[in-house]
Amino acid sequence: MRLIFMGTPDFAVPTLTALAAQGHEIVACYTQPPRPAGRRGLELTKSPVHRQAEALGIPVRTPASLKGEEEQRAFRDLDADAAVVVAYGLLLPEPVLNGTRLGCYNGHASLLPRWRGAAPIQRAIMAGDRETGMMVMKMDRGLDTGDIALEERVPIGEDVTAGELHDTLSRIGADLMVRAMAALERGSLTLTPQPEEGVLYAAKIDKAETRVDWSRPAREVHNHVRGLSPFPGAWCEMELGGRWERVKLLRSRLAGEAAASPGDLVSADERLAVACGDGAVELVTLQKAGGKPLPATDFLRGAAVTAVR
């Protein structure tokens, strides 16, 4: 089929690659414009999808908005059978949604209608969900409200991080979209409306919610840490050598009961465990500002932790 691909981050790259490998003619790739990057923010960096599209010889378009008539006309003029959308980052106005012969199909990383919105992977883990998945839906005017075409469920392990789940769902999403487009081409793709109950919204992660609150139960703290790992990262302050420093927490595990007040160190020799409102959490991988991620044993060799807040 003649397809338009719309996506931006690493998460979308496997789907783009898989569709191209299946022999679909991808007539254009829409992605977010290059952004400033580097320490000084002086270099413009192309998105992962942009780079992969160029490597595959696919024309790339980077409009800042799709609201203008000229952009909408250019989209329609591609004369595509369908558009595939994976983590693109721009809302699609109705003329774009209707700008292909068969519609726009989105790969979304949750079991809709649970976790509609921007951060479904992080929110599922932070909420302690035991299961998530990938879904392909036909897009409509609402926020992730379209009819479901295909789904695949994935268990969420007790210690899995958002980064690990991201990679798993990205691979599954590529296969699912390939299957969806094959069924669409055959005329056999069936659509099912989403349930009206169970709607939850996965709001974008706000920096203000990334600090760890040790007064919460240990399981909630653990889910908070792994749900924000590796980016943007949960954090706390630690007293290292008599000075308070901000430390990012990238991996943790539950450490049983603790007869201590929230924030008290339960262990700080070869293991680093902190009491929570109920139970304790062991901090497994940590990162100081400007440093690299370290296992707790290596972190403790370089700095004695005397307090946490």
Q: Which residue positions form the known binding site?
A: 110-113
- The answer for residues whose C-beta is within 8 angstroms of residue 269's C-beta and 6 or more apart is 300
CA–centroid distance for 64 within its chain: 22
DSSP string, 129-148: -SEEEEEEEE--SSSS-SEE
Using an 8 Å Cβ cutoff, are 139 and 97 in contact?
yes
Which residues sit opposite 272 in a β-bridge? 268
Q: Are 122 and 88 in contact (CB under 8 A)?
A: no
Q: Tell me the binding residues for (6S)-5,6,7,8-tetrahydrofolate.
A: 110-113
Beta carbons of 149 and 84 less than 8 angstroms apart? no
Helices 162-186/13-21 angle, 10° precision: 30
Q: How far apart are CA 247 and CA 273, in angstroms?
A: 14
Q: Are 244 and 237 in contact (CB under 8 A)?
A: yes
Residue 254 CA to its chain's centroid (Å): 24
Strand partners, 211: 235
* Alpha-carbon Rg for the chain in angstroms: 22
